[in-house]
Each structure stands twice: as structure tokens, then as C-alpha cells.
Structure 1
């Protein structure tokens, strides 16, 4: 049987191999790819694709000298721009825009050569950068939306390798420390790697068959989930398998007993995570909606690998895989007082005091969320400083009161003149020029008086949308506004669905209403506290200038799904003990004592895998990884250990209301013995 399972996996991986290698080819990371189809900026991008020449790649070439530009600098700039115009098809002749202090000269450059081809866009940006070069105190930088997209794509393309290797290294280190074996850690790590490869193939299939959007963020999160969740399942299975090897002689029979013992809990927990992630399908934002299926694919591939491939390999390797701590048949593990026994004892002695103290602590931490920085701007999305960001910073300093990023307006051609006049009359507009026409639409390029992504430019965009009836307003700044608005709308829709779906799964599993409500309330409190810690760290310590608009929703979905995952292990064991007739308080402490070590190990692994994201060069990934890692640690070592256990001890049988475990067992009636005569 193990050899058959191994053969089936070889066949499955061989089938998935051609598709797994293509996942990066369908990855899209433009801001417009994240937006819903109904957004104004999405409509602008789609119509621009149908205009003569297709979508335009917009850049700004920035020439700067601290002491002021010289005549030679201006001549160099003019020559370089002329060379760029001669080598590429531009939408118009670039015109120089000098700064008032004479230190900076900018040339807006736009070309329709690449269209929607991201590789061609990157080639164009790099070609312009090859020509636009400075020296001897003259700095030349290429910025703008096109250059920013190229730099972002380069960052996302560089994530795949480092993210995978770093995650694998972190998991390997933790497994070595947990298992204390030179060989055992290799097995779950290798199985997790194969599960990740399979998930890439399945994700590519979802993209091709159902149009599921794939981004650098969603594919990275999928890898994190495969290694994090997969290693958690492996820890539970190996721990139970080790126990069974001491009671059962044959490894095959021991593994069968281990799967019967922990399999239902693993299946229930993975099902809860998958149900929570699939609720993201209700989101309107493409990036969030794509995150749900890809995250679910990661969890299910990890589940399949850890419940089939991992057992087969462990059975084939036998007991020697645990060397040097080989579990001998008939042996008894050395009894010792564990940390969780001591923690459970303190929670059992004063449950109400522990519960109140924990609630106050979580509430105080949640107040830190009020200190979260505002919406993240495009130029603040990188932890490093790529050339496009440097160019935007130079422009912001040289043109503090002027817009340097175009706003695209798409108007029906028969109303283009009226739209142009209305745009010029709109408050906050510095200039508006008619652009390309085709297919019944005309493009109008608007420059706002206020700097990009400032409150003044936002007000100008909103005024344009209000004044230009029947037209669409897009461009980089409008895309950021639509991202923020759509995220806010998605949060109000997805959060209740996640809570309801998770609650229903818990009710069905635990056959209670109180216990599921307790678990859900606990994970919501953890989410608030984790966000609060983020508010105390992101700005003051890490220097981040903004918060990703999707941070609240995505961190909520992951922390609720993954937090309830650990709650299931604890409450499921508590229910098993209660079914044996153990008193409620003792059942809660026994569940903590028996599952605490494994759950703590699993929590450390999961938190460490998400913490890998904090080493990535994108602020969005750093913030998401930090909040989830902190939330998992809070959930593992505070909420599960103290608060849920204390609440269970305090509620006693009421925690299982209205199930049959909530009712006291009927006293056993003894038949009256006849008195001897």
C-alpha cells in the first residue's frame, strides 16, 4: 500500500509539472489587475487598450542638479530626449517642464509600443533608462507609472526564489529543534516542497480554466500556507504516530491508528481554513478574490500530501527515521512536568481573574490600531528605494505645488469637446489636453494642480468624476482611490460571511453553540490586538508611511481561519475527554496538557513562515506577514493557553450548551441487595 501511494504521487507530480512551471507567466501585478471590473480606472485601462496604439506606458524623465541646471545640462537633456523620440514611437513630442528653482527639468514621455505586454513594457523602460544617463553632478532618473510598474514587477519576480528558500530554511530549523533528529525533519520538509509544486500546477489550472487572477502576493501567500499549514499537520501526525509506535509493533498498523486518531481533527481544521479563505470569493477586488482560491489550493494540497504521501514515506522508513530518539515497542515515555501543565494549573485556579486580565490586555493592545498610518501611496510601497521612487521623490521636492502625474479621462467622442471644457473648468485642474480617439472614445490627459496622491489631487479626481457625466476617470492616482474604496466595501461584505461560515463549521463539529462563539470571539480579539501592535510598530519603529488598504480584510480572514484551526485541536480533545466522563474543568486542563506542546510547535512554525514575509522588499507583504505572525503567537501562547482554557473551566458544562455534554450525567442507580436472613 505505501508503495502504491508513492507511485500515485509520482504520477500526479509528473502531470502537474508542465503547468507548475507556467504559473509565473500568468502572474499580473499591475494596480489595474487588482481592481474590480466596475471601477472607473479599470474601464479607462480597458478602453485605452482599444485606442490606436493600445495602452500607453507613461514615464517621466527627471534631470536634476542640486546647484541648478547648467546650459550644458539642458542641452544633454534635449539630446537624450531626442534620441529616445527617434528610437521609439511616442504618443506626442515630449516637452520640458522646468522647476521654479531651476534645479530640475522633467520630460513626460509616453509610448504605446508595449501595449499590454509587460515584458515589452519593461524592455521599453530599460531602453529609456539606458539612454537617459547623468554624470558629473547631474542626476537622471526615470519615473512615472510605467517605470514604477517595471520596478514593482522586478521586485515580485525576485520573490519566488528567496521566499521559497527562506521559508524552507526556517521550517527546517524549527523541525530540527522540535524533533531533535538529523533525519526526521527532512521528510515533512520534502513532502511540503512537493505539495507546493503541486499547488502551483493546480493554481495555473484555475487561472486557465476559470480565470482566477494570480498575483505575486497571492502566489507568495500560497507558498507560505503550504509550508506553514502542511508542517502543522505533519507535527500532529508524527506526534501521534510516535505514540502509537510505543503501543503497536508494526509501523503500518501504528500509522493506521495515528490516522484514525488525529485524521478527523486535521480534516476538520483544514476544512475550516478552506471555508474561511473561500469567503474571499465574495470580494469585489480581484487581488482579494484570487487570494481565496489560491490559499485554499495551498491548504488542500498540503492536507493531501500530509495525510497520504507523508504516512507512506514514514511507514517505508520504519522506526529508524526517529533516530536517535527511536520509540521502542512497549516503552513508556519519561514523565515530566510540562510548561503547559503549569500554565493550565494557573488558569484552573483563578479562571475568572485570568480571563479578565487577558481580555483587558487584548483590548489595550487593540487600541494601537488607532495609530496605524494612512493609506499606502505607490512610492511608499517599497522597503528599498528603486529608481522610479527616487524620481518621484525628486519631483515632489522640485514641484511641491504641481501635479506631475497625469489623470486619464475617457469621454465619448461625440461629447469630447464638452468633456474637455468641463475638465478645464474643474477646480484643481491645471491643464487638460485632448489625446487619442478611436472606437467612439477620446482620451483627455489632465494634470492636477496638487501633487500626486495628495488630498488636493484626490479632491480633483472626485470632482472630475462628478462633473464629467458619462466619462471615466482613471490613471495611477485614481486606481489607488478605487483600491481603497473597494477594499472598504469588501470588508463590510466578507467579514460577516467569514464569521458565519466558520461559526457554522464549528457548531457542526463541536455540537455546541457556546464553544464556537467562544472560539470566534477569541480570534476576533486576537486580530484586533495584532493590528494594534502593528500600529505601534509600522510607523514609529519601521518608518512606514502608510498601511495597505487590504491589510485589515486579509489579516482578518487568515487569523480567523488559522486561529480557529488551533482552537479545534484544543476543543476537540476537550470534547473527547468529556465524552469519557471526565469532569469539565479537568477535561479542559487535560486537553491543554496533552495538546499544548504540539499546538505550540505548530504555532511557532506557522508564525515563523508568515514572518518570512517581513524580509520581503514590499511594504504590503511586510505588514501582512507581521500582523499574521504576531496574531498566531498571541493565539498560541495567550488565547489558547490561558483565555480559552480559563473560560472553559469557568463555564464548566455550559461550554457545551445546548449539546448533551452540557447536561449533568444521570446518577447510576444501584439495585438494592437483599438483606441476609
Structure 2
């Protein structure tokens, strides 16, 4: 870990002059004032007391029903609506109970299955496999719209009932849609607390190593935690009273992102505050200067993430639309905590929080010349970049491009048994069904058609390749429900292709095709449409924010190109890791998720570097400004990158493949941005381009 304890700016002959009056002065004065700082702390105490009471209830407003997240115009959504309106299947999912004995079912096994079926309301007639080794039946399970505890409890009782008094050697599993959802509920139950605890522990360790102080680490951690907790409370209130959609994924992303981003902002502010304490005896004045210098970069960084996240409301998937505001709320609140609560706390506590390395004012006073140029790690990195800038940026870009090429090996379309890092009861049941029945028996497709056309549609569907059987189930409200068993496992590419053929076969009849595989197909198509719309939109937002902050079009375009290249490299590196870990297929949503966070967050470190380089360049010229910016920000930005990568890395605690892949992608991408893009590529490119990188602004050499 790098040392961020320097209290002087290397290579600067004198401290930066006092900034001119600006729009930040009133805010800075309120946060750092001798009396007003107490009002800031009191306000935060009140906010935390109010919001904190609701933060713990965020799980109560989560909606993890897959059907509720479908695009409104998809066939799968229309199928759900018909089922709810005419077939009284509102808030119900299907559980499939499968009994298997490898040596063949015994009379006692069949009797057990028959007793369980008789004790299960709404159970279908049993279906026995042709090889005599397995038998199954299905049953509806109630599922509340916003609290899946109803379904989880029902499936739990079914598993307990069917598992009791089973003959020795008989394998009994509960699978199907209800079994899968129940497994997800069990996986995420209590996970918010676990993730929060692990993330806090990781951040604590990184801060302890960074500051090497028994006290200082706790201050940014406290401010960041309170900001994140407040954001969770705000999300709960908006979900309860304003219709904000929240699921388990968006909740844990908010916690991880809040802790990581908030700590990043805190590290940047504390590093600048330490510098100013080395120049000024009055800690209020030192914090005022530090905060005024940091606010443009921190607020621009936060605003970039907030606005880019809000672009998600234009997505087609309901969960995409819900994730955007959740992320925006989290980043906005932790930014506010880092720029108000944290500085007020630090000013109240004074210099002693830096113990045992308390920064002291230089003996000659604040106007004394700076110390000799730094010779530490970042001084050596700056010297290396200065010596061969063109070779370094070309070499860095080439290495990233090679990694990016590996991204073309990624393939989407996870089957059910690829969605968890371990084997759940539903997965085990699905595998038993695949061995002894047509693989799609656990999750037949649903076809709803007007009664008058049911016969013709049934005949068409039965002739489609990949369909094992099709049969009438029941009629209601003028509609007939057909169940269609596919030859392939649900959610697989082969099963999705069969659904497409079924839809083509019934085109023009008014029939609607739904079911789990249809949901997966429509979701993938909607995600593809989202990528085409949202990725360019997010890029445009980030570019505009860069231009507004740096007032340099050339630099902004080059920075955008660098983060896109970094995103591609992160995808390629992650793809190689996924294969090594045995999880080669991804959920299609990972591409947009990764793009949003790696572009919006990855640009943070470049903003921190280039805003400081621009500040220094106006004082000392372009070349010295870039090198000084790299030297001064190197330690703190590296620490910030390690914190953010580590916090996203804790997503591996969640035993789902999607969470593992998300964590690895973001953590790896952040490290690439921190250690390669920001440390080598950008400063080398800036030096090679010269002062024209700041065009249309002017910086003298």
C-alpha cells in the first residue's frame, strides 16, 4: 500500500494561492465554520436517526418475482397477464416434486410419492419415467407480489413434507419455478447484513494499512457507513411510498457501491486536508482550502455516476429501470456525507486523529518553499512516464487491446444449473428430470389461445422441432391453456430457439407463448435493445460531464476512448477468469451493468488525476502540471482504487454466479483503471500530446 501521508506538494515552489470567490464558498463556510460545523453534525444526526430506522426494512420492499421485471410489451408478460386474469393464477408459481432411485423405483417409493401428492393441494397426476427410475408431480405455490417469504415458506413446508419418512436411498427434490425462486430467497435471506459486514471489514483493513493510524481510519468509515445507511433508508421510503422498484440485486449493489465510492471520496479529501495542515496552523482554514479544492472533482465524479445511472430509467426491463434511481440515490447521499459530515467531523476532532503522524506546519510558515521533489514510488513512476511517454502509452494501449480481444469469447445464456455457485435443491431436481424425462418437463412452456383456435394451434405446436409433447390443460374466460414440453432444459439456447419456432408457428393466430424459457428469451432480447440505447447515452453523459469539468474537448475525448478501451480489457480479463472458475456463460445483463459501473466509476480516477493536473498546469505549466498531478494523487487514488475493487470483490460472498461475475468484472476493471489507465496511459498520453490536450482552453508551458 502506498503512503498517503505527505503534507507538501512535490515540485510546487509555493502553496497554491487562495482561490477566488466561487459558488462553493458558502457551502464550504457552512461545513467548516467554527460554529456552523456543529449545526452540520446535528443535521446529520437527525437524518441518520430518521432514515436509519427504515434502512433495516429495505428487504420488506424488495420484489424478486421474475415476472414483475419483464418488459411490458413482451409476449411473456402478456402470457402472465392472461394467466392472472382468466386462470386465477395470480401470484402463483409451479413446484415440481421429483422422486428418483437409480436402481428403479420400489412399491414403497411409489406409495411415498402418492401420499405426498395427496397431501399437496392442487397437485397434478403423477408422471412416471419410461425407465422406471423416477416419478414426478407438480403443484401450485402461492407467491406474494412484494414479499416472497410466502413462497419461500410454502416451498420450505413442501420440502419438509416430501423429505420426511422417505425410504432409504430415495432421492426427493423440489424444483420448477417455485423451487428455483425459493432457492434464490434462501440465498439472499440475511445476505444484506453479511455483505455489509464483510464490506466494512474489507474497507477497515485497507484504511488501517493506508493510514497506519489507530484512530484516523474510523472517521471516513463512520461517515461512509452513515451515508450508505441513510441511502438505504431513502430507498425504502421511495419504494414504499413512491413506487420505486427494488430487488435483492439493487440492494446489495447500493451497499457495496456506497461503501466503496464514499471511501474513495473520503480518501481524496483527507489527503488534501493533510496537505493543507502542513501549510496552515488553523485547521478550519486548512479544511476550507482542502474542501474547496476537492469539491469540483468530487461533485463532478458523483454527478457523472448519478446522471449516468439515471439513464437506466430509459431501459426496457423493469429491474434496469429500478436499478438506476437506487444507484443514483446511493452515490448522491454518500457524496453529501463525504463533503459535509466527514469534514465537519475532522475539524471537530482536530489534528490528533492523525496520530502517530500528526501533520505539522513547516517552521518557515505557509509561504515557505516546498520540499525537494518526491523520490518515492510515485516520483519514480512520474520520472519513468516523463522519460518515454510515447512508448508507455502505446504499450499500455496495446496491452489493453490484447485483453479486450478476449471479450469476444464471452457467451450469454445461463441455464438453471449455471446460476448458482453450488448445487441447490432445485438444480439437483432439474438434473434428475433431465436424466429420466424430457429435459423440459420441469418447466413446460405455456401457450394461451382463444378457444376457437385452440385445436389448430395445438396441431401446429405439436409439429415444431424441439417440442416433445403439447396438450390442452384447461379453458377459462374464452382462452385455452396449452402446456408444451420442450426437449431441452429450460433457459438453454436450444430451448430458447424452440420457443422462437413455436412463436413463428402460431403467428397470426393470436396465441401468446410464455413460461420460464420464454421469459429468458424476452429478457435477453430486451437487454440487447437496452445496450443499443443506453451505452451510447451513458457515453454521451460522461463526455459532457468531462467537458464541463475540464473545459477541454480534446482531453475529454481521449479520456472517453481510454475508459472504453479499459472496459473492453476488463471484459476480456473477466471472461478468462470465468472460464478458469468453471462459469463461462454470462447473463446478458452483465454487459450493461459492467459498462455503467466501469465507465462511470472508472472515469472517477481520471477525473481526480486530470483535475489536479489542470490545477497544477495553470501554476507551473503543462509538463510539470501533469507530473505533479501524478505524483501527488498517485498514492491516494491507488488506495481508493484498491478500496473500490475490494468492496466489489466481496460480492463473491453471494453464492450466485451473476453476483460473482459482477464482482470480478468491476473489481478487475477498477484495478486496470487504477494501475494502468490512470497511472501510465493517461499521463503518458497527456505528455505526448502536449498542452494542446487542454484545447480549447490554454495552458502555458
Normalised TM-score (structure 2): 0.89
User: Is the CA contact (8 Å cut-off) linking 1:372 and 1:534 kept in structure 2?
Assistant: no
Pick one of 452, 458, 462 that aligns with 2:490: 452
Partner of 1:69: 105
Pick one of 113, 131, 140 that aligns with 2:161: 131
* 2: CA distance, partners of 1:655 / 1:473: 55
Higher mean Cα deviation, 443-452 or 149-158?
A: 443-452
CA distance 1:573–1:341, change in 2 (3 Å): same
Pick one of 454, 479, 497 that aligns with 2:537: 497
* 1: CA distance, partners of 2:426 / 2:100: 14
Partner of 1:39: 74
Higher mean Cα deviation, 600-609 or 285-294?
A: 285-294
Q: What is the SS of the residue equivalent to 1:108?
A: strand
Pick one of 589, 594, 597 that aligns with 1:558: 597
Q: What is the SS of the residue equivalent to 1:105?
A: strand
User: Is the CA contact (8 Å cut-off) linking 1:407 and 1:446 kept in structure 2?
Assistant: yes
Q: What is the SS of the residue equivalent to 1:120?
A: helix
Pick one of 85, 110, 113 that aligns with 2:140: 110
User: Is the CA contact (8 Å cut-off) linking 1:402 and 1:448 kept in structure 2?
Assistant: yes
Partner of 2:367: none
Pick one of 62, 65, 87 that aligns with 1:27: 62
Partner of 2:4: none
* 2: CA distance, partners of 1:189 / 1:113: 39
Q: Is residue 339 of structure 1 aligned with residue 377 of structure 2? A: yes
Equivalent residue runs for 1:300-315 within 5 Å: 300-315=332-347
Equivalent residue runs for 1:306-325 within 5 Å: 306-325=338-357
Query: Alpha-carbon deviation of 1:373?
Result: 4.0
User: Is the CA contact (8 Å cut-off) linking 1:49 and 1:115 kept in structure 2?
Assistant: no
* 2: CA distance, partners of 1:115 / 1:28: 7
Equivalent residue runs for 1:169-208 within 5 Å: 169-208=201-240
Query: Alpha-carbon deviation of 1:466?
Result: 2.1
Query: Alpha-carbon deviation of 1:488?
Result: 1.0
| Structure 1: 5+ residue stretches without partners | 666-677
> Size of the alignment, in residue pairs?
655
Query: Alpha-carbon deviation of 1:643?
Result: 0.6
Q: What is the SS of the residue equivalent to 1:110?
A: strand
Partner of 2:469: 431
Query: Alpha-carbon deviation of 1:23?
Result: 1.6
Partner of 1:668: none
Query: Alpha-carbon deviation of 1:405?
Result: 1.7
Query: Alpha-carbon deviation of 1:440?
Result: 4.8
Q: Is residue 299 of structure 1 aligned with residue 337 of structure 2? A: no
Partner of 1:79: 115
CA distance 1:277–1:116, change in 2 (3 Å): closer
User: Is the CA contact (8 Å cut-off) linking 2:594 and 2:662 kept in structure 1?
Assistant: yes
Query: Alpha-carbon deviation of 1:99?
Result: 2.4
Equivalent residue runs for 1:255-654 within 5 Å: 255-330=287-362, 336-399=374-437, 403-413=441-451, 415-468=453-506, 469-539=509-579, 541-580=580-619, 582-654=620-692
User: Is the CA contact (8 Å cut-off) linking 2:443 and 2:490 kept in structure 1?
Assistant: yes
Query: Alpha-carbon deviation of 1:439?
Result: 4.7
User: Is the CA contact (8 Å cut-off) linking 1:57 and 1:114 kept in structure 2?
Assistant: no
Q: What is the SS of the residue equivalent to 1:181?
A: coil
Partner of 1:48: 83
User: Is the CA contact (8 Å cut-off) linking 1:53 and 1:115 kept in structure 2?
Assistant: no
* 1: CA distance, partners of 2:375 / 2:427: 56
Q: What is the SS of the residue equivalent to 1:382?
A: coil
Q: What is the SS of the residue equivalent to 1:434?
A: strand
Pick one of 90, 96, 99 that aligns with 1:60: 96
- How big is each residue's C-alpha offset from its partner over 1:419-443, in whole Å with a ceiling of 9 and x where there is no partner? 4444334443333333454455443
Query: Alpha-carbon deviation of 1:125?
Result: 1.1
Q: Is residue 120 of structure 1 aligned with residue 150 of structure 2? A: yes
Higher mean Cα deviation, 236-245 or 453-462?
A: 453-462
* 1: CA distance, partners of 2:142 / 2:633: 60
Partner of 2:199: 167
- How big is each residue's C-alpha offset from its partner over 1:279-311, in whole Å with a ceiling of 9 and x where there is no partner? 222211122221111111111110111111111
Higher mean Cα deviation, 517-526 or 421-430?
A: 421-430
User: Is the CA contact (8 Å cut-off) linking 1:373 and 1:547 kept in structure 2?
Assistant: yes
* 1: CA distance, partners of 2:145 / 2:213: 55
* 2: CA distance, partners of 1:111 / 1:636: 49
Query: Alpha-carbon deviation of 1:498?
Result: 0.7
* Cα-Cα RMSD: 2.1
Partner of 1:675: none
Higher mean Cα deviation, 123-132 or 204-213?
A: 204-213
Partner of 1:672: none
User: Is the CA contact (8 Å cut-off) linking 2:216 and 2:354 kept in structure 1?
Assistant: yes
Higher mean Cα deviation, 637-646 or 201-210?
A: 201-210
Q: What is the SS of the residue equivalent to 2:95?
A: strand
Query: Alpha-carbon deviation of 1:112?
Result: 5.4
Query: Alpha-carbon deviation of 1:556?
Result: 0.7
- How big is each residue's C-alpha offset from its partner over 1:335-381, in whole Å with a ceiling of 9 and x where there is no partner? 65121211121111111111111111111111221222441123311
User: Is the CA contact (8 Å cut-off) linking 1:141 and 1:388 kept in structure 2?
Assistant: yes
Q: What is the SS of the residue equivalent to 2:274?
A: helix
Query: Alpha-carbon deviation of 1:331?
Result: 5.7
Higher mean Cα deviation, 94-103 or 546-555?
A: 94-103
Equivalent residue runs for 1:135-154 within 5 Å: 135-154=167-186
Query: Alpha-carbon deviation of 1:563?
Result: 1.2
CA distance 1:488–1:203, change in 2 (3 Å): same
CA distance 1:648–1:569, change in 2 (3 Å): same
* 1: CA distance, partners of 2:145 / 2:294: 53
Query: Alpha-carbon deviation of 1:383?
Result: 0.8
CA distance 1:323–1:614, change in 2 (3 Å): same
User: Is the CA contact (8 Å cut-off) linking 2:141 and 2:151 kept in structure 1?
Assistant: no
* 2: CA distance, partners of 1:481 / 1:113: 23
User: Is the CA contact (8 Å cut-off) linking 1:192 and 1:305 kept in structure 2?
Assistant: yes
Query: Alpha-carbon deviation of 1:613?
Result: 0.8
Normalised TM-score (structure 1): 0.92
Query: Alpha-carbon deviation of 1:209?
Result: 4.5
User: Is the CA contact (8 Å cut-off) linking 1:141 and 1:390 kept in structure 2?
Assistant: yes
* 1: CA distance, partners of 2:644 / 2:192: 19
* 2: CA distance, partners of 1:254 / 1:161: 37
| Structure 2: 5+ residue stretches without partners | 1-35, 365-369
Partner of 2:30: none
Query: Alpha-carbon deviation of 1:232?
Result: 0.6
* 1: CA distance, partners of 2:215 / 2:285: 22
* 1: CA distance, partners of 2:146 / 2:685: 56
- Superposed structure 1 runs of 4+ greater than 6 Å apart: 113-116, 332-335
